[in-house]
Structure 1
Amino acid sequence: MPKTRREVAQRVAAIIRPIEAQSQSLSAEAGRSIAALIEARQQARLPAHVGAQALARTTEAAQHLVLAANCFAEVHRELAGLAEDLGLGFGPDCPPNEGAEKPGLKVVAIG
């Protein structure tokens, strides 16, 4: 059982940080999967409507991953602010996340 607020914060950070990093990586992978589907269709010389539903579903899934990544970045920012308010500061492996302070990217599906 944790004895201090710092220990509790470190426990939470140990859970949140990997999720934040993985959600960012998955967002990037999802974007690459969209490109791969389009490129595969072009290389196979298929008309644009072939695989359109799968491409649309992949784009929708990618959008959800980006939203999740942005939410975890926001959680990071909020918890960092809370830690600062409580006088815990940032840990050695958790510098202020400047990227989380900026508006997130958005995926927009056209069609």
Structure 2
Amino acid sequence: MPRTRQAVAQKVADRLFALENAIDAALTRAAELNAAMPEARGEARLPAMIGQDAFDKSAEAFASLVLARRRIVETHQSLDLARAQIGLKVVAGGDLIAKP
């Protein structure tokens, strides 16, 4: 049974890590878009009112992605608690921070 739980937990962990990476990539692309719009406006010598609505919406989308990232981090913490509750040991899941 522990091996089955471990295999199932690994499937969930793999999907969690994939989602964390996808959100980070989306945040990066959104930040690039938010930076490009005012730069483009300046290069084209357009008044600030041009494209403001698009910039507002893009900034709002970025903020939504930040909130989504926060919720996934919270999900990660909750899943770590669930892992401990079902008796699975901590295993290294990434290369940035070593786990025992």
Matched to 1:17, the amino acid is: F
CA drift at 1:21: 1.2
Question: Within 2, Cα distance between the matches of 1:82 and 1:9?
Answer: 10
The yes-or-no answer on 1:8 pairing with 2:12 is: no
Unaligned runs of 5+ in 2: none
The yes-or-no answer on 1:86 pairing with 2:86 is: yes
Rg larger in structure: 2
TM (normalized to structure 2)?
0.82
Task: Work out the number of aligned pairs and report it.
Answer: 96
Unaligned runs of 5+ in 1: 98-111
Matched to 2:13, the amino acid is: A
TM (normalized to structure 1)?
0.75
Matched to 1:29, the amino acid is: R
Alignment of 1:1-111 (within 5 A): 4-94=4-94
CA drift at 1:94: 4.5
**Percentage of pairs with the same residue:** 34
CA drift at 1:89: 2.5
Higher helix share: 2
CA RMSD across the alignment: 2.3
* Runs of 4+ in structure 1 over 6 Å off: none
Question: Within 1, Cα distance between the matches of 2:16 and 2:51?
Answer: 36
